[in-house]
Amino acid sequence: MSMRLQGKTALVTGATSNIGRAIAEAFAREGAYVAVSGRSAERGEEVVEGIRARGGRAEFTQADLDGSAAASRTLAQEATRVLGGRIDILVNNAGIYPSTTTALTEEKTFDQVYAVNVKAPFFLTAAVAPAMVEAGGGAIINLGSWIARLGIPSALYSSTKGAVETLTRAWAAEFGPQGVRVNAISPGVVLALAPGESHPAEIMMKGTPAGRMGTPDEIADAAVYLAGDDSSFVHGIVLDVDGGRTTAAVIAN
């Protein structure tokens, strides 16, 4: 075990399932003390218990990141408290995916998706980054998406992830000179499937170099890299972990 995050503290939002859970578990394996954040206390405690059973350190911090500045500030304060006074790493992972088309999107849905996917990480970063600067540094990792750059008929969600990727570059410029590195991960189609299980989303990875969907653990590995000292010279990037979905096409012979 490399323990690349030994002595670090981390807050991971949306950490009770899928990518967020895998990141929280990977951080704990690498030695970080992790605040597992999410809406469901039952699922959150399950994640924490699993981490502790494997010798890691974690606490559950319940939060409904509805986009209000108050909700983001409250999470920042509570996570700082349970982690012993500081947050070294912030992962803005929580988000929602609306199942709707442009013409059928209601204003209430539009506002909700932007609130959760853009406003919540904006105000959480605003609450956490200054404390990182004061403490001497830190790392912030945002979760983007491959569909922010390769268009599919999902305009609302795609646009929120485009905003997150733009925020990543702007925050790198704002906080980088003060010791806080800000980067993003852009996952491809990622699902945890049981052996032999299939999913309709698999078709979206046809014609890619990988030729398959990704796993949450593969995204978590990238997050560990961006959170640790191995990426000390990396600022403002969007790291594509998408099986080549946005960069290469495999042409069948």
Nearest to 222 by CA among 236, 242, 205, 206: 242
Whether residue 233 lies inside any domain: the answer is yes
Domain region containing 161: 9-241
**Would you give the distance in Å from CA 41 to the centre of its chain?**
19
Nearest to 116 by CA among 184, 65, 165: 65
**Would you give the distance in Å from CA 129 to the centre of its chain?**
16
What pLDDT score was predicted for residue 253? 52
Whether residue 248 lies inside any domain: the answer is no
What pLDDT score was predicted for residue 1? 61
Whether residue 3 lies inside any domain: the answer is no
Q: How far apart are CA 151 and CA 246, in angstroms?
A: 10
User: Which whole-number Å values give the CA distances from 23 to 26, 28, 154, 188, in the listed order?
Assistant: 5, 9, 26, 16
Whether residue 247 lies inside any domain: the answer is no
Give the tokens for residue 153.
């008929």
What pLDDT score was predicted for residue 222? 98
Whether residue 249 lies inside any domain: the answer is no
Q: Which residues of the chain have pLDDT under 50?
A: none
The residues annotated as belonging to the active site are: 157
Query: Does residue 207 contact residue 249 with C-beta atoms inside 8 Å?
Result: yes
What pLDDT score was predicted for residue 251? 76
Query: Does residue 185 contact residue 140 with C-beta atoms inside 8 Å?
Result: no
Nearest to 90 by CA among 51, 149, 134, 143: 143
**Domain tally, the chain:** 1
Whether residue 87 lies inside any domain: the answer is yes
The DSSP code sequence of 203-251 is GGGTTSSS-S-B-HHHHHHHHHHHHSGGGTT--S-EEEESTTTTT--PP
Q: How far apart are CA 91 and CA 87, in angstroms?
A: 11
Query: Does residue 146 contact residue 214 with C-beta atoms inside 8 Å?
Result: no
Whether residue 246 lies inside any domain: the answer is no
Outline where the chain has alpha helix (H).
Answer: 18-29, 41-53, 69-82, 107-114, 120-135, 155-175, 216-227
Q: How far apart are CA 64 and CA 131, in angstroms?
A: 22
Whether residue 40 lies inside any domain: the answer is yes
Give the tokens for residue 64.
């409904």
Overall size of the chain counted in residues: 253
CATH number at residue 159: 3.40.50.720
